[in-house]
Amino acid sequence: MRRTPYLQHSLLLIGVVLTLVPFYFVISNAVRSNNEIFRSPFGFPQALTNMVSFTTLSLTGRASEISYVVRISVDDEIVFETRRDGYKAAMRAQWKIMTNGYIYAWEVLRGYMLNSLLVSLTSAVGVLLLGSISAYVFARYRFPGSNILFYVIISVMMIPGILTLVPSVQLVTALDLRNSYTVLILPYIATGQVFAIFVLRSFFRGLSEDLFDAARIDGAGHFHLYRHVVLPLSLPSLSVIAVMNILATWNGFMWPFIVNSDQKYHVIASGLFNMTTGPIADNYSAMFSAYVLASIPLLLLFVYATRPFIQGLSTGAFKA
């Protein structure tokens, strides 16, 4: 019987707490009013405390004693004051305080979120499609120049983004592509597919030849082999590539920030940065709500994809 490794657990727990502390304050501040945040950015949400005490009162049969004064102040000057009596009305007032930031943030963020979703999903699909087709061709067929072409494609991994940033912007300006979805999606597919080709080609090569022979005996053509033999077998690799691409696109900041001047085409990353210089910047509650809202799509992705992702990476699906 091994003893419980208390030392490891305590060190790891300290690590977890330190890692997550900033995000706790973001989530908590998102449901606090601006006045509360202004007084102290690190308190517990007053509205939640109120809700707990109202519920306690109502459960102990003292609901009639509940009354709550709604004060809205601007620059420490109360501009609006009203009374909410009774459990339901008081609770509604608390709920309103908690969701206030989210409502403001959603107004601004909605467009950015939809753009990010569109750009991330489309470019992930594009990367998977182009990447897997090219990887399949380079893995299973040889034709004049196939090796040279493959190394030309792989050499793109040696090109740092800093070298191509300025000329790429000039190029898309010359092609009149700025302020469009095309300019957001195509570059991500172009650069994202290279890593996919690199990983998938070696994976496709490792597939047993007997599988292909068996399928050919059944009369499978090239497309059939790709669609019904290769793709199903490489689903774990494909999903890790998809998740990594979505992550990269979702976090991409510089490119969308530079090539778009129209608010309509900004994505989450550039949109959040624009919010800090926009009129919403002083609305701390809304800013923190925006951070929370911006994290929800990836959170949903991770709920579904974490297990294969962790297992895929932990077993060394990608080695150097």
Partner 1 sequence: MLIDRFVDGKAHNYTRQSLSQITKPRSARIVSRGRTPSPNHPMQTYPTLRSSLSLYLLVLPTLFLLAIFSFVPVMMAFYNSFYEYEVGGERTWVGFQNYIDYLTADPTAMVSFVNMALLTLMAIVIRLTIPLVVAKLIHTLPNERHRYLYRLAFLIPTVVPVVAVQLIWGSLILGETGLINTLLENLGYEDLAHGWLSDPNTALIALACIGFPWITGFEVLIYYAGLSNIPESVHEAAQLDSATGIKKFLLIDVPLVLSQIKLIFMLVLINGIQGFELIFILTQGGPGFETYVPGLWMYENAFSFQKMGYASSIGVILFVVIFMLTLLNMKYFKSAEDMQGQ
Binding mask of the shown chain, residues 230 to 249, with x at each position contacting partner 1 by CB under 8 A: -----------------x--
Q: For residue 38, what is the enclosing H or E element?
A: helix 34-39
Distances 57 to 65, 81, 184, 284 between C-alpha atoms, Å: 8, 23, 54, 31
User: In the set 75, 141, 148, 151, which binds partner 1 (CB under 8 A)?
Assistant: 141
- Near partner 1 in 61-120, by CB under 8 A: none
What is the SS3 assignment for 220? coil
Q: For residue 77, what is the enclosing H or E element?
A: strand 77-85
Query: Is residue 261 at the binding interface for partner 1, with CB under 8 A as the rule?
Result: no
Q: At what angle do helices 268-277 and 87-140 cross, to 10 degrees?
A: 140
Least Å from the CB of residue 282 to partner 1: 12
Query: Is residue 186 at the binding interface for partner 1, with CB under 8 A as the rule?
Result: yes
Least Å from the CB of residue 47 to partner 1: 19
User: In the set 187, 195, 198, 283, which binds partner 1 (CB under 8 A)?
Assistant: 187
- Near partner 1 in 144-183, by CB under 8 A: 144, 146, 149, 153, 156, 158-171
Least Å from the CB of residue 239 to partner 1: 15
Query: Is residue 137 at the binding interface for partner 1, with CB under 8 A as the rule?
Result: yes
Query: Looking at beta carbons only, is 104 or 273 nearer to partner 1?
Result: 273
User: In the set 63, 125, 233, 258, which binds partner 1 (CB under 8 A)?
Assistant: 258
What is the SS3 assignment for 140? helix
φ and ψ of 84, to 5 deg? -115, 110
Query: Is residue 197 at the binding interface for partner 1, with CB under 8 A as the rule?
Result: yes
| The dihedral sign for the CA sequence 281, 282, 286, 291 | positive
